Amino acid sequence: MTSSNGTRPLDGIRVADFSWFGAGPIAGRTLADFGAEVIRIESEARVDGLRLGQPQKPGKSGYNVCAYFNNFNADKRSFLLNMSAEGSRDVALRLIERSDIFLSNLTPRIFERWGLTYEELCEVKPDIIAAYQPMQGLWGPHRDFLGFGAVLTPTTGISHLSGDPERRPVGVGTNYPDYAINPGHTVIAILAALRHRRRTGQGQRIELAQIESVAATMGPALMDYTVNGVNQDRKGNQSSWMSPHGIYRSADDPSGRERWIAIAVRDDAEWESLCAVAEGSSFASHDRFATLLGRRRHEDELNQAISAWTASFDAASLAIHLQSVGVPAALVQDAEDMCEHDDHLAERGFYAYLDHPETGISLYDGPIVKLHGTPGYLASPAPLFGEDTFEVATDVLGYTAEEVAELTASGVLG
């Protein structure tokens, strides 16, 4: 869906995206969804590892076919600039001078070495909005530590709380902070800085220390420790205020694929609704389960009884039935379910299918929010490696074709 005149709220905003892998590119992708021109800085000297990652379409290889990279970088332009080459800083500053936003998730020592600190950017673009996303922040004893979401989840305590109590920490199974928390906080900060600049004419430096962005999600566990002296541990799927609260095995689908259903009961009224649906089951009439305290006290027994009940049901149908009587429940979906069978996501048109030159028609996440008047949309698939170098150098930076050739021959562009 597009607005009636095709405009998007960030039309006219240019982003010099010096980030890589996840948190930075996803923030840039969100800005691109809503109209910003995002110029992704890349280099043959140090290719973004996601360009070589998985998954890749069978039979395809190279820099342009990783689904992760392509999803995170749709609607951007790829500009090859080797920051290790003499003269590259001048090109970088020329781009920043013509941009509204500078974005980087590299460690401080990298952009300090490149001469791209906020103070140096302000010399060529006084009202620049410079968003830095180093994992540990711009200062502190660990400021140059390396890592990704898989490092942040244990560092911030998420892994300690994830998994079954009798087993080792397992984390969340993905680089969760990269996909949601860090880019989301960064985009909000950039929008706030844009509003401030519109009102005052002043730019800002944004420091998004990824460790602090993620630690901010740990409030309940931190409060339990500081107020009660309780250092929470892994609880599996247990909740301190809901019971039952778990994932329960249901009947396999016709192909033999195992299926599971999530059920969460928040109060006694929902419990009574669940019991009405499960009339005749071993748990529906037991007085010991009639209150939250009783359900929590006998939770292992309750979970076993619910598992025995759900085992004969189709998970999707049972979830819909429970929802119809006010009990929160859902099929535990996998990628096939979400792409092929989720009629809700399909009806809302969340996924976009774009024609990429090397991977063909491929699935992309759509914009993560919907604005009624100026909705975001994807205008183009991810760029091929270096696809826009010449056009950015000439149209945006104002170099002549001869100057581009010289910069390429000297190793600055490329």
Active-site residue list? 178
Contact between residue 81 and residue 45 where contact means Cβ atoms under 8 Å apart = no
- Give the closest residue to 146 by CA, choosing from 111, 106, 176: 106
103: β partners: 17, 131
Return the DSSP state at 165: T
Distance separating alpha carbons of residues 134 and 141, to the nearest angstrom: 13
State the amino acid at position 262 in one-letter form: A
The tokens for 105 are 């998730």
Distance separating alpha carbons of residues 351 and 338, to the nearest angstrom: 10
- Give the closest residue to 39 by CA, choosing from 69, 16, 18: 16
The tokens for 257 are 């694929």
Distance separating alpha carbons of residues 127 and 123, to the nearest angstrom: 10
Distance separating alpha carbons of residues 175 and 164, to the nearest angstrom: 20
Peptide bond preceding 244 in cis form (omega within 30 of 0): yes
Distance separating alpha carbons of residues 303 and 170, to the nearest angstrom: 22
